[in-house]
Amino acid sequence: MREKLLELILIIPAILIGFTFHEYAHAKVADMLGDKTPRFQGRLTLNPLAHIDPIGLIMILIMKFGWAKPVQINRRAFKNGYKDDLKVTIAGPLANLLVAIIFSVIFGLVFKFYFMYNYNEYTDILVKIFNLIIVINVNLFVFNLLPLPGLDGFGILEDLFPSTFGRIADSLYRYQIVIFALIAFGGARFLNKPTGIILELCSKIVNGIIS
């Protein structure tokens, strides 16, 4: 019970980091490409309060499935339309992957030069936090690339094939809640393999630095 409560507490900073960098990346790239909507709405910041949806945060803590506040984009503000929108869409998942890799490098360095010589109950907590940040961000990267309505993966397909997906997008969005409910209650075991591959890469980075 104590271990589960501790993990529940320690997972919060990992979620805040994952959601914040994901949404900030969307906002930053959109702003760079000419859409000032995220700037006007206060989303061009790394302050978690600007990006976290309270209900989505509670859901991910309870159900292991939640969401952040989506960044609103005005595609008409882009010079290259769907091409620029594609860059904005991809930015979110890539930010999560980059965070996972960066924290893997930091973890490897800190472990090599500090944890190996000063390991105690407090450093054990820090190790768990590092692990959770890496795991959460890898999961966000993989999950958001799923081609499901409401996720970046679906947005990528819309940008790559606008005419095709323009005809069926509205119909698919009608079943968005049903799809997410099935994932939330039934789990997403089909994500284990791609997630495991990336986590193995992060593990190799850590082990490579330590060795």
Would you tell me the crossing angle of helices 2-32 and 121-144 to the nearest 10 degrees? 50
Instruction: Give bridge partners of residue 68 from the DSSP assignment.
Output: 52
3-state DSSP call for residue 158?
helix
3-state DSSP call for residue 68?
strand
Q: In the numeric block, which tokens belong to residue 12? A: 């919060």
Query: For residues 21-40, b (16+ Cβ closer than 10 Å) or e, as one string?
Result: bbbbbbbbbbbebebeebee
Catalytic, out of 3, 7, 23, 200: 23
Cα-to-chain-centroid distance, residue 173: 21
Residue found by looking up tokens 């809640």 in the block: 177
Contact 164, 94 (CB under 8 A): no
Active site residue 158: no
Catalytic annotation, residues: 23
